[in-house]
Amino acid sequence: MNRISHWIDGKVVEGSSGRSGVVFDPATGAQQSAVDLASVAEVDKAVAVAKAAFPAWRSTNLSRRAEVMFHLRELIDANRKEIASLLSKEHGKVLGDALGEVARGLENIEFACGVPNLLKGGYSEQASGGVDVYSIKQPLGVVAGITPFNFPAMVPMWMFANALACGNTFVLKPSEKDPSTSMLLAELLKQAGLPDGTFNIVNGDKVAVDRLLAHPDVQAISFVGSTPIARYIYETGTKNGKRVQALGGAKNHMLVLPDADLDMAADAAVSAAYGSAGERCMAISVVLASDAIADALVAKIKDRIPAIKVGPASEDGNEMGPLITGEHRDKVRGYVQGAAGEGAELVVDGTNDVPANGFFLKPSLIDHAKPGMRCYDDEIFGPVLTITRVKGYDDGLALINANQFGNGTAIFTRDGGAARQFEFEVQVGMVGINVPIPVPVSYYSFGGWKASLFGDTHMYGPEGINFYTRTKVVTSRWPDPRTSKIDLGFPQNR
């Protein structure tokens, strides 16, 4: 049985807790690996190593830190296929999708290559007589990242690229469901010239997470995962005095106005709902169809579904792989099978005729979903698209703004004025205009509103740089000794 261990101080370290987790091959349903689950002592070891590595790494000059990021960029680029295959083997997403994930992660390494520019502070000469004031951005120390199963390469890169470039040392706790990609990234970081101990991985579960949340030497926590855990991470981490950004779940609505190009809207809805088997936090899970075009739009979406090729990532031509575990597949199936009983209409039932082995479902389409139904209210996180019929713009906007989540949303229209009004009024962090999955490029920042994000800072991009640094303001005077005198008053500008 393949065993996945920890990465501490620049090498693989076998776990000694005696506990391990199961990593499935989601395409067959069989176990493919066992992952060591860290004990408190093992987390403490990783944090101690990262703490010891911090003074040298924060003192490393900016050009050298950027050079490591440039090397890493080249290594990831050269190994795209290997990284994508590894993640698709454990996650189940098809290779093209996995390659897209690697590309979107790589953008963050490219952004971090610009760290000398990103860490520039401000400078004000002569703020007072002979006094200059300037700000500097300094790293925090040891920072930790806790990541979800659905983007095992990209989400760690969202975090560690900027964290390391800013001079922090890092402890990553990947999802225990698909941990191998992180181990490969650790190897590449070493090859890129990152000093041992600067980046560490503890594989594990709640035991490891809780220790990171309580450890006095961990300064900050970045988390991406489901909303209940994100809330817990934020509350516990901040109570323990840490800086925390915790991104949670989503229910992303796509509002289709009567003037939209319906073929384009149907293509977008199908791609964004069923890509990666719906296991994306930016997946479209609700289409708000204006009454005037709803029947036509539902028909177009329904027509497209049978052509989607569902099967193992290892077979060429498949477009949608399995779900992550049997347990999760059963939960998603429950939403589909329960929809009719809640008063919705099951237009396409993707729970039938699925491969006997593996954690597969086919795409499902549910019409006439409404608030108060579980299939509308909950984040399903599977290949299930629900349609809610709305009178038009105002009705659709009200539903989006009433939702507990505010991660992503999209409007499909040819009316620039309506799109402008939508971006102005909608209570959501990431908005697409005729773009169904508006994941910001790496030089903006990623984050939702409401129950999709706990904390003040979005992830990666400029806000990522702010999250991983503390600002210090220096007020300095190199006085002309001739002007020195005693003054007991509060400093004022003179």
- Active-site amino acid positions: 281
The reply to whether 67 sits near ligand NAD by the rule CB under 6 A is no
Return the DSSP state at 355.
Answer: -
* Block residue for tokens 């199961």: 22
Provide the mask over 131-170, with x wherever binding to ligand NAD is found by CB under 6 A and - wherever it is not. Answer: ---------------xxxxxx-------------------
Instruction: Report d(CA 72, CA 89) in Å as an integer.
Output: 23
The reply to whether 224 sits near ligand NAD by the rule CB under 6 A is yes
The reply to whether 173 sits near ligand NAD by the rule CB under 6 A is yes
Touching ligand NAD, residues 240-269 (CB under 6 A) = 247-250
DSSP 399-441: HHHHSSEESEEEEE-S-HHHHHHHHHH---SEEEES-S--PPP
The reply to whether 401 sits near ligand NAD by the rule CB under 6 A is no
The reply to whether 273 sits near ligand NAD by the rule CB under 6 A is no
Q: Tokens in use for 179?
A: 């941990």
Q: Tokens in use for 58?
A: 């924060």
* Block residue for tokens 């009316």: 415
Q: Which of 3, 64, 81, 206 binds ligand NAD (CB under 6 A)?
A: 206
The reply to whether 229 sits near ligand NAD by the rule CB under 6 A is yes
The reply to whether 176 sits near ligand NAD by the rule CB under 6 A is yes
Number of residues that bind ligand NAD (CB under 6 A): 26
Question: How far from 24 is each of 77, 82, 96, CA to CA, in Å?
Answer: 27, 19, 21
Q: Tokens in use for 413?
A: 């229209």
Return the DSSP state at 482.
Answer: G
Q: How far is the CB of 461 from ligand NAD (least distance, A)?
A: 13
Q: Which of 82, 205, 342, 377 binds ligand NAD (CB under 6 A)?
A: 205
Q: How far is the CB of 33 from ligand NAD (least distance, A)?
A: 16
Of 218, 169, 159, nearest in space to 54 by CA: 169
Instruction: Report d(CA 447, CA 212) in Å as an integer.
Output: 23
The reply to whether 368 sits near ligand NAD by the rule CB under 6 A is no
Reported as type and span, the H/E element at residue 19 is: none
Q: How far is the CB of 250 from ligand NAD (least distance, A)?
A: 5
Q: How far is the CB of 403 from ligand NAD (least distance, A)?
A: 14
Considering only 44-52, 106-114, 190-198, 218-226, which stretch makes contact with ligand NAD by CB under 6 A?
218-226
DSSP 176-239: TTS-HHHHHHHHHHHHTTPPTTSEEE---SHHHHHHHHH-TTEEEEEEES-HHHHHHHHHHHHH
Considering only 84-92, 162-170, 202-210, 354-362, which stretch makes contact with ligand NAD by CB under 6 A?
202-210
- Interacting residues with ligand NAD (CB under 6 A): 146-151, 173, 175-176, 205-206, 209, 224-226, 229, 247-250, 281, 379, 381, 407, 448, 452
